[in-house]
Structure 1
Amino acid sequence: MNLFSQHRDPDNIPSRAFFFHFERLRPVIELLVRKDRLLENWYLKGDNLEEALKYRAYEDDRPTKDAVNEVADRYKGKGENAPKTIGIWNGIQSDDSGAAFSISIDGDRLLPQSFELAIDEKNHVSSRLGGFRSVAEVVGKIAEIYDPFYVTFGPRKYFEKQVFDDRPGVSWMLYLPHVLTPTQVPEARALIPVMRDGKQQGTIIVSVTDEVFDVNNRAHVKVANDIEIRLADQDLLPRFIDL
């Protein structure tokens, strides 16, 4: 499964604030650990296995100085506002237990920042993160922390089957920063509000609720496609170029 979102960091976040970005991610990891213990330990990505297990990203629930300093060293020759990426993984090479984050930062606001979480799955019948409400917790947490333009979650291969190339797909679920009702999206199997400071900041649109979204299931793909068309017709599905 793959989670992808885009956002723009506030102007008050300085460039090269590596510790801040590690710390901001920590509540997401804490939530993931409650769903899968294999998502407890994280390491900086590297060019080979030895390097990729050298720096632990967190210890005692805090970003490690070694990891933060190593990322800073890797970008020492880059400009303050040059785009940068923080990449961490859970140190497991197994095809069904691995996971990785890739988070873009800085960039001088030329392009939005991106947030990606890739999770290897054991099968297509269940998800390591649980059922749709459990997965929606993770989507909601990222929406709460990063205030994104959208968050999409589902199989990576769904990208080939979504309706629009220039807009995000719905896949298993899609977060949008709008208050949506069943009248607006009648094809959705569930609409989950995302709250912030006591107010609804957006909605998670779920295409399948009785099982895990399967990109090889035509019925699943059709529901997601129908939702995308419905949203686009109401100008609610953003175009990447407008972000």
Structure 2
Amino acid sequence: MDLLIKLDIELHEEMSIPLLIDIFSRMILTCESITHEKEAAWYLTADTLEEALQKKAFNEYAPTDLLETIPYFDCMESIWANETKALKIKYTSSGLIYNLEFIIEEINHVNKNSIIDALDYYFDTYKIVCMRIDTNGYRYNRKNVFPDRLPVGWMLYLNQIITQEQVPMAAQLITIENEKNKGTLIISKEGVFDGSNKDDIKKSNEIEIQLTALGLLPLIREIYN
């Protein structure tokens, strides 16, 4: 069984090419820590595969000289390693959303703790508005309860302190508190969350309902205002 994992991070940072390169480097490391696989190279996109293969952006996670010469943001909207691994950036009016999407071929290789460890860097380094980890199209296939609110999926970070007493059905709540961020990482399931599994969907739905009842689950439009 394949597991499609999608990581969405909403950052509010003043962007620059060095910061953008750092984001991509870190995402490659995140990808490696979750898949336990290293890619020899990552490439910029182009009109054809032949052209793209001439635009090596990273040797593993180390940037190449090519990145120092590209026009600001012209080519750095996405990089790719193979047909199942791509790192993408989507621009918004209030900041940037960084999307990490890849396929895990064997579900047993996914480790929740390695994912959490990989996220620590983002929490310590960037101002995060929200962060979501989705699997197998939970949000894309509209399995969440409220289409106008953030989905919980497997993991959701919100910039507010939430206690286990408030959301007892959550598998784990991790408090994030440092110079950059103060909030809570909500984890719906201890094991691997499958966004197409009926029981997992029900668990995430219950958490979304409870958070909404407490006024803790933001509207999507509130995130971008």
Length-normalised TM-score, structure 1: 0.77
In the TM superposition, what whole-angstrom CA distance separates every residue of 1:167-198 from its partner, at most 9, and x where no partner exists? 2211111111222210111110111233435x
Shift of 1:203: 1.8
Shift of 1:68: 4.2
The residue that corresponds to 1:207 in the other structure is: 188
Contact kept? 2:24, 2:87, Cα under 8 Å: no
CA distance in structure 1 between the partners assigned to 2:199 and 2:172 by the alignment:
16
CA distance in structure 1 between the partners assigned to 2:201 and 2:216 by the alignment:
20
The residue that corresponds to 2:58 in the other structure is: 58
CA distance in structure 1 between the partners assigned to 2:195 and 2:33 by the alignment:
26
Write out aligned runs for 1:142-157 (5 A).
142-157=122-137
Is 1:191 the counterpart of 2:173? The answer is: yes
Shift of 1:155: 1.5
The residue that corresponds to 1:118 in the other structure is: 101
Shift of 1:27: 3.3
The residue that corresponds to 2:7 in the other structure is: 3
Contact kept? 1:28, 1:141, Cα under 8 Å: no
CA distance in structure 2 between the partners assigned to 1:46 and 1:237 by the alignment:
39
The residue that corresponds to 1:176 in the other structure is: 158
Tell me how large the CA RMSD over aligned residues is: 2.6
Shift of 1:24: 3.7
Gaps of 5+ in 2: none
Secondary structure at the counterpart of residue 37 of structure 1 = coil
Shift of 1:122: 0.8
- Which AA in structure 2 matches 1:111? S
Percent identity at matched positions?
Answer: 27
Is 1:86 the counterpart of 2:77? The answer is: yes
CA distance in structure 2 between the partners assigned to 1:37 and 1:239 by the alignment:
36
Is 1:131 the counterpart of 2:131? The answer is: no
- Which AA in structure 2 matches 1:99? K
In the TM superposition, what whole-angstrom CA distance separates every residue of 1:203-238 from its partner, at most 9, and x where no partner exists? 2111111x3111232111111011111112222222
Shift of 1:69: 2.5
- Which AA in structure 1 matches 2:47? D
Aligned residue pairs total: 216
CA gap 1:99/1:156 in 2 versus in 1, 3 angstroms: same
Contact kept? 1:39, 1:99, Cα under 8 Å: no
Query: Using CA pairs below 8 Å that are at least 6 residues apart, which structure has the higher relative contact order?
Result: 2
CA gap 1:186/1:147 in 2 versus in 1, 3 angstroms: same
- Which AA in structure 2 matches 1:86? E
CA distance in structure 1 between the partners assigned to 2:86 and 2:61 by the alignment:
18
Write out aligned runs for 1:19-30 (5 A).
19-30=18-29
